Structure 1
Amino acid sequence: MEWKKVSILTLSSAIAFGGMAPIANAAESVTTDSESIQFEQGDGTSNSSSSVEETEASVSIEELVSRIKEIFPEKFGSASEEDFRLEFTPYYPEEEQDIERFRVSYFPRSTNNPTHASFEFVGEDLELSHFYYNPENRSDALFPPKVSEEDAAKLAAAFIEEVNPSGSYELNEDANRYYHNRNLPLTEPIEYRFTFDKLKDGIPVQSQTASVTVLGNGEITQFNGPRQSGDEEYEAATGLLSKDVVLNQLKEDLAIELQYMIRLNYETRERTAYLTYREIPAVQGISAKDGKYKMNGEYVDEFSEEVEIKMLTADKKSADPITKDEAKELAKKLLETDEEGTTLHIEGVMERENPDGTEVYEIRYMYRTGNSGHGSSIEIKKDTGELLRFSASRNYNPNEEVDENVSMEEAVEIAVDYIESYAYTNMDEYAYPITSNNVIYGRSDRHYFSFPRVKDGLIVAGDSINVGISKEDGSLVSLNVNRSEVDEWPAVEDAVSKETALEAIKGNIDLKLYYVDERRNGKTDTETQTLQYKLNYLRDDNREPSFYNAVSGEWESSDPYGRQESPNEDIHISHPWAEEELNFMINNNIITVEDPETFNGDKILTKGEALEILSKSLTRIYQSPYAENREESPFTNIDSEHPLYDVIVRSVETGILSTDEGTFGVDENLTRENLSYWYIRALGLDAVAKRHEIFNYNFNDVNQISGKYRGYVVLAESLGLLTKNDENNFRPQNKITYAQIAIANLRLAKLITSEDFELIN
């Protein structure tokens, strides 16, 4: 997030505070413009004309606007109908075809008003299924929050009851417990996110959840309701086996085997191999009625014996580099279609490098039928000519019957032939699909197989060749190669015994009763295609994603995005006058605390420490994953390996730091005039501050202000960011502490997010 431009209103306010001399041309020092801003809706669609051909809706825009005003009288009660627009009606393949949806967007006619919203209604009753609202001003949702998390949860529950009064919902305490372990800037509003489970007879329905986002000021800005699925049928919640009986049976039957697992660090892009134990076969659920295990989409009475690993074998083909034109021709060959009225268009061939260093051709294509089209892209490895990612995008209707001319057994061998033709490098590292690992996907037009990678006789979880074969004609529908480049693999002999691991895994298993959606291939087995729910006990031990490290014998986080609870989440420090502010910044990963017992809020900060706190207060700081690819440092004493490199580069980008001086005094103490300088540059008022001769200096200690910082100090004081004391002294040379910067940064964030400033993403 970047910020720029201050309105004349702000400068006028500064004059009113007495900081500026009342000269006529003071405001001319800042250039403003009236560029229009394009917004992005909460669902990711932009405010541009829909490319989807609009059809006549069965509900008028007048009816929809009336419904919006009924639900949100305070927000939209006085809005003009001209501010609303009926968009295309979205379609979800898993829903009944006769379920109608209506999407409405809201943009005020005033180009200066950043408020926008989107709504989605479903069914004859126009039940709200989606809502996103971006208010004009979010500054009142910053710290301190006007509502607590507990109060926000009550507001969210009341909202769900209002928009869906016939449903019964329960707050899911375990949802959204994790987030990226990065800083949350002070310029972003406080948001509380809640997930609610829909209940049937007091039992959660697994596929039916609702989510609500509440700002720190109590305003609801986002709602996503459960998908509608037509008539719903539920098994009676009677005659159930007790959880203890089912759990004990599972533990008695459970078996495990050693495997490798690859974990990707999404920040550094490094892949690490671990040894772990996997359960065999994989149990997807257990019937609460008869205790049968659900595996590979089927209910069975007992575990089947594990099938031995059967490796793929093939003669090595020569892996020769491929040119751009050859890659284009290969794509045409794979994508050609005989569908009447449809033509294939290759939109472009791009050369690029994947994050792992693999050089590829990315070929974008489109199937065009009349005025409509659909397409995707494929990746071909430059130095071998192999497919890395391929999908033959086709029009897909889940309710359309497809003749199954190719059996699953036949499709497996066809898939192997395609691998030999298009993914042959390292083919001998992969095995035939293992039944207990298979997952049934909701597609009726294809057979889908996962060929696992094998290392030292062990399956490598996450590395596989995935192939989709058309049931109708055996053609290649999709092919994706997942192979991790790992230098070090833990030795098999270093793993703890199977007996030790099994006891640890059994001790980590729990079950919870849910209603579970049993649809297959987008529809049910009944003629009416009603949704049938089954009662199952589902594994409930993965609320905190983890895996068993077979070398250390410990449980470790397995979240794919490296998310975890903030290390500062439970820290609470004391301070006589800045306790709440300090703890808020600590919990938002803006201030780092090594030891809460020794943390001193009155400790004087160095420029390096203060700059990191300021940068994290105003924007998200991301670590560059590759040091060798980092741009040249703007300061001679800060190289790309310096721990503050990313902070300093970002501070230069946002204007906080000037590069006029060749070095940055990381270890120097930060003074109040230094901080004033950073603040005013962050606000984009550098040009004004340099004209220090236009200001009134009504400080008793004005002579202590360095000449370079005079205009910055008077502006910072006039805007209320750093204030004078009772003796009318600014104290420009006083050193800044943790407590002082916490208070001042919150003031700055409040000013930047006010209506006097524009935030540019």
Structure 2
Amino acid sequence: MSKNKAWKFQHTTKVACLSVAALSLLFPQGLALANSDGTSSGSNTVTQNVTVSTSDTVYESLSNEMKIKIAAGEIPMPEPVVADLSKVKFTKEQAITKLTELFPILKEASVQSVELGNNNEYPASKNQMIWNIYWNYQVGNSGYGFNSQVDAVTGDLINAYISMPIEGNQSYYPPKLSKEQALEQAKSFVAKAAPSLSLKDLQLEENNWNGGNISLFGPVQYGFSFKILRNGIPSSSDYIYISIDANGSVTQFSKPSDGVEYPSSVASISQEAVEKKFVDQFDVELSYIPIYKNGVTSNWILGWRPTDNAVNSFDATTGNKIDFQGEEVSSSPVIYTDVPVTKDIIFQARSQSSELTAEEAAKLVEQVAVIPEGRTLISKMLDKDYMDPNRKIWRLTWGKKDAAYASGFPSQSSAEIDAITGEIVSFRLAEYGSQDLQALLPTPSGAIKLTKETAKQKAIEFVNRLYPSASQNLKLTERGDDSNLNKEGTQYNFRFIRHINGVPIGSGSVSVTFDIYGRLQYYSADRVQNLEKITGTSVATVTKEEALTAYQNQYKLKLQYSRIGGYYVDNSYIDPAMYLVYSPEPADPTRPYEMLDATSGKWITVYEGGTLPEAVIKPIDLKGHWAEQDLSTLVEYYIITPDEQGNVKPNEVVSVGDWLTMMVKASSPYYASYSSYYGMSEPKSIAGVAPDSPYYNVVSYAAERQWISRDDKLQMDQKLTREQLAVMLTAIVKYNKLSAFMGQDSVVRQYSDFAKIGNPGAVALAVKLGLLQGKNGKFNPEQTVTKAEVASVIMRLVKLQGKTDQVIGQQ
């Protein structure tokens, strides 16, 4: 889970297919390329007419297939949310003027188009009274496009992302503004940008991790996230996010705009009553819990974790728990029941080692699922499984050929199939979840609706047919008062959980959805990684009672507004609505992703980096140290982490691996995502470092940037010497060739131990750049380097930015 708050930007699309088991956040807004006609209107004049979203523009955005179905009366015309020009109180000219005043750099850009309202997302936002202004910035033959949004009624700035190119190799340190000064400027900007809000209704999020850019190299930016108070109550869903650089220029801004109504701020049930219900209903279960590193499962622990409904919010009006669809959840405990072997077809993996053809894979899907009439196989792609690069997956799409590349959201079905075994990993009857499913699959003649019991049997038949050894690996999750039928009475959903040694597997969910006649509409089986690492006993040494006691102080209930909906669950769209809820929040917000190890009794962070940076213990051994400021900066940027007692140990000698890790973290805290490991079917050693080494991602990042050679044979645990450091610094500043000419430079020959220096050119260069110095007439090439000395060198590199011919250390 990312620590960056940028995900709170307005979503450009609401199309997302989520499973009942895992609800994902939608991605933040990207750049909107607006140069549609290749013309420019000038920076202060708009010559284009305003486009207003109407039923005509909505119709034009639809796929050809949807247009045909609408004409045939098979599906209704999507109801547009139309902007009303007569209600505009803040004109387009005022909006453009405001934007250029807030962002002076926009005077160098040109307005490409202006649109009132936006129906280019599905479903369209209910609030269409928004000016969408598209900008273009031209640099030679290159153009940069981005958009901004202004409320056409209040005049509030809603969204802006200024993406201007950075010119030249610039100096960034020391920054002109401190974080505290930037915060004051951010508050002043918010007051101008969104005058309908009062600053007293904004609550700064303290756990914000330093803002926009969080690396030491590159432009210094600060990001601030403000929670908005509504009727004096905080909203967990509504934020203002602002990013400001060290020169005081705002580069990003976002605030809510969808116009969802807020219910009364008065709760019908007291906090004390809800707290009692929370304690009474709270439950934990023994489970194998995945430990994530670099975004993949690296290990498993046997642990106690809250059950699915244990930490759901309580509706402050009814006092009942609700789920992420806004529906009341059952208070009955989960019961796992065995999956019997059915008499129908049982999944059998193919015995051939050759890959399926796309047509063979499609046939496997069509044998178990009904593809709507008129749809044919229009897209087929053989690709690596995103969870396992050694596994090949067919990604197939059925639809109308003339709708394959149509605008809007074409009506399609999709599936993923293992190219070797033939296992169907996922299926969606409606890829975008936007179609009338009853129109897609008309009621069959003489069909009989499934009852609760026959639906359960149908679900068991499906998993036996689709999942390998379902009766051995899966158990059905049931609750005593849950019928599995959706509130519209049109489809059943069943969930199965993978078990090993009788213990459920975290992230091992299988979801099956079918209509009331038993026709498959959605199927998804989690890809579970590294199950072979589940070893040892399945018996907990920590009892359930002890676990419940341990969890007692891990949560506190908070009265707040919470937005539910605005996304798809198993291809069903959940309309957005705002609820007043008592929400269980981590008592320590800096440690939100911890589970109780059932063997050791210790709290384990399940995500690498899952402990928020503010949880880092404050250093206690830096006061008065000669490198106190440099070391403190590295601690602030989480490049160095104090131990549990708060000791940084500044005089500790560092290894080659320590140095590279610190330098890579200073360049990019997300270095692991750049690793050469990803996309490789067989990861190979780099610079003598094996893929299973804890340094592998660091070395991969450094090799990609040519700080080291892939052919090197690094000894990562070897103590770092001053000469080794000089050689690596030469590569980082990209002066390798220059250093070859400096072997006899006077700056290095002056040292009395010159004869001991193996690479005098690198040493001369490091000294001339001010990164290293001699002492008492010697360079001491074989002397080891301390953590304090490394911190000092890194900060000298940071301040050297803009003074060399090449950019230093940036991503």
TM over 0.5: yes
Are positions 1:504 and 2:566 aligned together?
no
- 1 CA distance for matches of 2:253 and 2:175? 20
Residue number among 549, 568, 574 corresponding to 2:623 in the alignment: 574
Aligned-pair Cα RMSD in Å: 5.2
Separation in structure 2 between the aligned mates of residue 363 and residue 494 of structure 1, nearest angstrom? 41
**Residue 163 of structure 1 aligns with which residue?**
193
From 612, 622, 634, give the equivalent of 1:585. Answer: 634
1:351-394 deviation per Cα after TM superposition (whole angstroms, max 9, x unaligned)? x3664577342324363444506568633234532212333444
Q: CA deviation at 1:324?
A: 1.5
1:324–1:752 distance in 2 versus 1, CA, 3 Å: farther
Against the structure 1 CA distance between its residues 42 and 217, is the aligned structure 2 distance closer, same or farther, given a 3 Å change threshold? farther
CA distance in 1, matches of 2:258, 2:686: 53
Greater mean deviation of Cα atoms: 65-74 or 740-749: 65-74
The aligned counterpart of 1:130 is 159
Name the aligned partner's letter for residue 330 of structure 1. L
Does residue 364 of structure 2 align to residue 330 of structure 1? yes
Q: Do 1:103 and 1:121's aligned partners in 2 also have CA atoms closer than 8 Å? A: yes
Equivalent residue number for residue 688 of structure 1: 738
Matched, 1:318 2:348: yes
Per-residue deviation, 1:669: 5.7
Worse overlay, 612-621 or 589-598: 589-598
Q: Are 1:262 and 2:289 counterparts?
A: yes
Query: How far apart, CA to CA, are the structure 2 residues paired with 1:388 and 1:400?
Result: 21
Structure 2: which 5+ runs fail to align?
A: 1-26, 38-47, 54-84, 444-448
Q: Hey, what does 1:13 align to over in structure 2?
A: none
Structure-2 separation of matches of 1:520 and 1:661: 51
Q: State the alpha-carbon separation in 1 of the partners of residues 334 and 792 from structure 2.
A: 64
Distance 1:480 1:657 in 2: 41
Measured in 2, the distance between the counterparts of 1:154 and 1:434 equals: 53
CA contact (8 A) 1:314 1:420 kept: yes
Aligned residue in 2 for 1:359: 391
1:250 aligns with 2:271: no
1:228 is displaced (CA, Å) by 0.8
TM-superposed CA distance for 1:225, in Å, is 1.8
CA contact (8 A) 1:519 1:531 kept: yes
Query: Counterparts of 2:534 and 2:640 in 1: how far apart (Å)?
Result: 35
Question: CA–CA distance in 1 between the matches of 2:566 and 2:286?
Answer: 30
1:210-249 to 2 correspondence within 5 Å?
A: 210-229=240-259, 232-235=261-264, 237-238=265-266, 240-249=268-277
Moved more, 129-138 or 536-545: 129-138
Partner residue of 2:604? 556
Cα deviation code 1:230-270 (max 9, x no counterpart) = 5x2522x346433123212432x325353314213234733
Change (3 A) 1:661 1:223: closer
Structure 1 residue 631 and structure 2 residue 684: aligned?
yes
**C-alpha distance in 1 between matches for 2:249 and 2:695:** 37
Q: SS in structure 2 opposite 1:432?
A: strand
Q: In the alignment, does 2:731 pair up with 1:678?
A: no
**In the alignment, is the contact (CA less than 8 A) between 1:137 and 1:754 conserved in 2?**
no
The TM-score with structure 1 as length reference comes to 0.74
Aligned length: 698
Tell me the SS of whatever aligns to 1:204.
strand
2:379 aligned partner, one-letter code? I
Percentage of matched positions with identical amino acids: 18
SS at match of 2:586: coil
Cα shift at 1:597: 8.0
Q: Within 1, Cα distance between the matches of 2:713 and 2:548?
A: 60
Are residues 270 and 376 of structure 1, via their aligned partners in 2, closer, same or farther at CA, if it must alter by over 3 Å?
A: farther
Change (3 A) 1:332 1:758: farther
Q: Offset at 1:513? A: 0.7
Pick one of 316, 319, 335 that aligns with 1:291: 319
SS in 2 for 1:324: coil
- 1:746 matches 2:776: no
In structure 1, the residue matched to 2:511 is 466
What letter is aligned with 1:590?
Answer: I
Residues 1:477 and 1:190: Cα distance change in structure 2 (over 3 Å)? same
- C-alpha distance in 2 between matches for 1:309 and 1:605: 51
1:23 aligns with none
Tell me the amino acid that sits aligned with residue 385 of structure 1: G
Residue 609 and residue 363 in structure 1: after superposition, are their counterparts in 2 closer, same or farther (change >3 A)?
closer
The residue that corresponds to 2:380 in the other structure is 347
Q: Which residue of 1 aligns with 2:583?
A: 538
SS in structure 1 at match of 2:561? strand
Query: In structure 2, how many angstroms separate the alpha carbons of the residues matched to 1:348 and 1:408?
Result: 38
Q: Distance in 2 between matches of 1:239 and 1:269?
A: 41
Does the 8 Å contact 2:677/2:691 carry over to 1? no
TM-score, reference length from structure 2: 0.70
> What is the identity, as a one-letter code, of the residue corresponding to 1:389?
S
| Separation of aligned partners in 2, 1:45 and 1:537 | 36
Query: CA distance change for structure 1 residues 750 and 365 in 2, over 3 Å: closer, same or farther?
Result: farther
Q: 1:160 to 1:430 in 2, by over 3 A?
A: farther
Report which structure shows greater RCO (CA 8 Å, sep ≥6): 1
User: How far does the alpha carbon of each residue in 1:494-523 deviate from its partner, in whole angstroms, 9 at most, with x for none?
Assistant: 354444333333343421111234669989
The DSSP-based 3-state class of the residue aligned with 1:156 is: helix
Q: For 1:204, which of 234, 252, 272 is the aligned residue?
A: 234
Q: Is the 8 A contact 1:379 1:387 kept in 2?
A: yes
Preserved CA contact (<8 Å) 2:429 2:520: no
Greater shift in the superposed pair: 750-759 or 398-407: 398-407
CA distance in 2, matches of 1:234, 1:297: 17
Instruction: Give 3-state SS (helix, strand or coil) of 2:286's partner.
Output: strand
Q: What is the deviation of 1:345?
A: 0.6
- Relative distance call for 1:566 and 1:306 in structure 2 (3 A) is closer
How far the C-alpha of 1:648 sits from its partner, in A, is: 4.7
Counterpart-to-counterpart distance in 1, 2:693 and 2:311: 48
Q: 1:697 to 1:741 in 2, by over 3 A?
A: same
1:547 is matched with 595
Q: CA deviation at 1:581?
A: 1.1
Give the match's secondary structure for 1:319: coil
| 1:24 alignment partner in structure 2 | none
Counterpart amino acid of 2:739? A
Equivalent residue number for residue 72 of structure 2: none
Q: Spell out, residue by residue over 1:127-162, the C-alpha distance to the aligned partner (whole angstroms, 9 max, x if none).
A: 433322345559889554544444444443443333
Q: Matched residue of 1:581: which SS?
A: helix
